[in-house]
Chain A
Amino acid sequence: MIILPGFSTRPFHPLLWLINPLLRRIMISLLVLIPLFSVMSACDGSRQTNTTTPTLFFGAPISLTGSTSNEGQLTLEGYKLWIKEVNTHGGIRIGHTTYQVQLKYYDDGSSPTKSAQLTQQLITSDKVNFLLGPYGTAATLQDEAIAEQYQIPMVEGNGSAKAIFSKGFHYIFGVQSAASEYAKVMLQAALTLTNPPKTVGIISADDAFSKEVATAAKDYATSHNLNVVYYQQYPADTTDLTDVLTALKTSGPGGNVPDMLLGSGHEDEAITTMKECKQLHINAKLYAFTVGPAVPDFISVLGPSSNDILGSSQWTPQEKYKGRDVFGTPVHYAQIYQTEYGHAPSYQSAESTAVGLTFEYAIRKAGSIDPQKVRDALASLDIMTFYGRIRFDSTGANTYKPMAAIQIQNGRVTTIYPSAIADAQLMYPTPPLS
């Protein structure tokens, strides 16, 4: 007996379900929704009942559109290459279970806040097992807080600022060298010259990563007899640097251009700086940019004016590492990457693949997919890979891998420092741009 307000309490005649409009709608809704729900729960159930292959899900928000879309794309390629290689070589085996790995990724549009939101979605809605980092310090700073909150380990390869590792978080690990190394390695390379530059002008974007790099650069230069004659920050999203460069032009001794120009920012600003140096007739003896020269389209955008520009790189194919991973050496990784994607790998791709490898070894070491155990395994990991040594200090940063200095010579990237892995000599001074 059904009692509805406003209706009589007599039992309903079955036919009433067809005649009364309200009851008819209720019946049709139930007839549609009940099968729908049962189908949906069956789909969810199949994941839990393990009737399909056991799979580990790795989630990542990546900037596939927006200002860092290029680098985001390279990051995705690095992740995908790892996924493919792991699955081809039999997945990750723990005890009697062999897990396939799968990547779940979303486009965060180069927006850090969206990245954080997507991280949350990956954890709560997509129920990923572990997190791979986004591209860039800004997004990593946001996403690591979410990972920490839900206690899901996150390994990242594209955010280098010390700020990422200074929050006392336990669930964040970064495979790449710290931001402070970016400029240091280029200055070290420059100072190996018999007649090194005496003055340097440093310009820096004001985002967390670039500021860290610039401060470390200034400290290193000052303590190594390199006079910092100009030091200026500019807004991170600027499209024009004429004011900063105009002031730099006359900041050297005698109102001339300083010997070296060091730019700390991202690829866009590096390109803008070179183009505007041309327009303002600024001819330094050495140009160095922390981010930009190692990215493939830097050379194609600038053409001949990209020659002799110094850059720093987290990884180059010329390095002499012998890793225990499936890629083994940098050369071998470059070959596999080239075959897969038709172009040479950048360091962003290499470090993203290294992120995947880190998880792979940590999970095997932990012997479990439990987030806590994997986190502890990550904290005590020490492995040599094609990317270099991966070991984390107590804050989660990898302080055991050095960076390399590169220089563009004749339209291609060469490694010039440290000498143990260099395949070319540093060319100095740079001829005038015109």
Chain B
Amino acid sequence: MAFGQVLVNWLLLGSLYAAVALGFSLVWGIMNIVNLAHGAFIVVGAYIAFWMYTQLSIDPYMGIPLTMAALFLIGWLVQYVVINRVIRAPLLVTFLLTFGLDLLITDLVQQIFSSNRRSINTTYAADGFDIGSTHIAFDSLIAAGIAILLTAALSYFLARTRTGNAILATGMDQDAARLMGINISRTYALTFGIGAALAGAAGAMFAELRQFKPPDEGTFTLHAFVIVVLGGLGTPWGAIAGGLAFGFAETIIPLFPGVGSGYDDAITFAVLVAVLVFRPNGLLGKAFYS
């Protein structure tokens, strides 16, 4: 059993999953909005990265800042025009709205790009290096690195910058924040925009590491949901913890002798239930995002 390879797989995959859940966690933690259109944003990010690669020859990883900027704009617009209206509404209303948004975006993407599968094949996609018998691919490593970088950057931004503090304050107590002179609707738009931008980054990475097509957004949203619940709201590092936990359930547990493939989903959700029983707020969860 190639333990080294399995370990490396787990760490790399876990970080990638964390990238998927990061934006989702932020929006949920601060705005209390479970954004069911998160998967759709990831798919849009994947298509933007794909388009930049095939039309402008921009490497997907180098082009992540551009992808993030594009998704930020889209997220900002969506929040300002649509989500803003349901900030104080009951949870079910936000579910309905983001679900409808999800369907709309997915269908639009399918109309424009067709349902053909796409993938980005870079020239270095098969390259990597070996540590003993363990092979580490460059693209997986870069993706994991970017995911961790984004988490650290988000954490720093929230804790150490004025705007980040404003976002945290708004998440803690909207009215008190307003009294402090914080523009609530602009802060929310910013938060949603950042969430969408992070989704875009995840999409760009997935476009190169795997393949994608419009219906994949459902899987992304579901994974983000499970990862956030596992890792806990309250800190960006929760996404990393959740991603690793989810990756563990997907890559390591099936390798135990006697565990067949049919139990994969059951085990993943059993892990989820176990985490919720012992740590109801998730692995790193806290009452307030900070």
Do A and B come from the same complex?
yes
Interface residues of A (CB under 8 A from B): 65-67, 69-70, 73, 110, 206, 232-235, 237-240, 242-243, 246-247, 249-250, 267-268, 271-272, 275, 278-281, 296-297, 300-305, 433-434
List of A residues within 8 angstroms of B250 by Cβ = 238, 240, 243
B191 CB, nearest partner CB in chain A, Å: 28
Q: How far is the CB of A333 from chain B (nearest CB, A)?
A: 22
Select from chain B the residue with minimum beta-carbon distance to A69.
Answer: B115
Give the interface centre of B117, B128, B135, B214 by most chain A CB atoms within 10 Å: B117
Check B116 against A70 for contact (C-beta < 8 Å).
yes
Q: How large is the interface on B (under 10, 10 to 19, 20 to 34, 35 or more residues)?
A: 35 or more
A-B contacts, 12 listed (Cβ < 8 Å): A238-B250, A242-B9, A243-B255, A246-B2, A249-B2, A250-B133, A268-B211, A272-B211, A278-B125, A278-B137, A279-B140, A280-B137
Min distance, Cβ A268 to any Cβ of chain B, angstroms: 7
Q: Does B160 contact A (CB under 8 A)?
A: no
**Nearest Cβ distance between residue B138 and chain A, in whole angstroms?**
9
- A278's nearest neighbour on chain B, judged by CB, is B126
- For the residues of A in contact with B, the DSSP-based class is helix
Q: Is the CB of A297 within 8 A of B210?
A: no
Instruction: Provide the bound-state CA to CA distance between A433 and B123, in Å.
Output: 11
Q: Are B110 and A69 in contact (CB under 8 A)?
A: yes
* Chain B residues with CB under 8 A of A304: 121
A267 touches B117 (CB 8 A): yes
Given A110-B215, A281-B137, are A240 and B13 neighbors across the interface (CB < 8 Å)?
Answer: yes
Separation of A242 and B135 alpha carbons in the complex (Å): 12
Partner of B211, one of A271, A281, A433: A271
The residues in B between 206 and 221 inclusive whose CB is less than 8 angstroms from any CB of A are 209-211, 213-216, 219
B218 to chain A, nearest CB (A): 9
Q: Does chain A have a CB within 8 A of B264?
A: yes
Are A279 and B125 within 8 A (Cβ)?
Answer: yes
- Contact A70–B117 (Cβ < 8 Å): yes
Question: Is the C-beta of B181 less than 8 angstroms from some C-beta in chain A?
Answer: no
Give B262's nearest chain A residue, CB to CB.
A206
Cβ of A142 to closest chain B Cβ, rounded Å: 19
B261 near A275 with CB under 8 A, answer no
B265 near A246 (CB under 8 angstroms)?
no
Most buried by A among B127, B139, B254: B254
Cβ–Cβ < 8 Å partners of B5 in chain A: 246, 249, 280
B176 at the interface (CB under 8 A from A): no
Distance in angstroms between the alpha carbons of A242 and B252 in the assembled complex: 10
**Segment 236-254 of B: residues with Cβ below 8 Å from A:** 250-252, 254
Write the chain B residue with the least CB distance to A71. B115
How far, in whole Å, are A268 and B219 apart by their CA atoms in the complex? Answer: 13
Q: How far is the CA of A272 from the CA of B261 in the complex (A)?
A: 17
Per the bound structure, the CA–CA distance linking A305 and B255 in Å amounts to: 28
Q: Which of A66, A235, A249 has the most CB of B within 10 A?
A: A235
Kindly list the 7 A-B residue pairs having the minimum CB-CB distance in the complex, ordered from nearest.
A434-B126, A279-B137, A69-B115, A281-B135, A278-B126, A303-B121, A297-B116
CA distance A272 to B211 in the complex (A): 7
Q: For the complex, what is the distance from the CA of A434 to the CA of B122, rounded to whole Å?
A: 11
Q: B209: which A residues are within 8 A, CB to CB?
A: 275, 279
Chain B residues whose C-beta falls within 8 Å of the C-beta of A296 in the assembled complex: 116
Interchain nearest-CB distance for B229 vs A (Å): 19
Chain A: CB-nearest residue to B252: A243
Which residues of B108-138 are within 8 A (CB) of A?
110, 115-119, 121, 125-128, 130, 133, 135, 137
A233 CA to B13 CA, complexed, in Å:
20
Complex contacts, A232 vs chain B, CB 8 Å: 261
Q: Which residues on A sit within 8 Å (CB–CB) of B119?
A: 271, 275, 301-302
A206 touches B261 (CB 8 A): yes
Contacts of B216 in A (CB 8 A): 239
Task: Please determine whether A243 and B117 come into contact, CB atoms closer than 8 angstroms.
Answer: no
A272: which B residues are within 8 A, CB to CB? 210-211
- Extra A-B contacts (19), CB below 8 Å, given A235-B261, A247-B255, A250-B133: A67-B215, A206-B261, A235-B262, A242-B13, A243-B9, A249-B2, A267-B117, A271-B210, A275-B119, A278-B125, A278-B137, A279-B125, A280-B9, A280-B135, A297-B116, A300-B116, A302-B121, A305-B121, A433-B126
Per-position 1/0 for B254-270, Cβ under 8 A of A? 11000011101100000
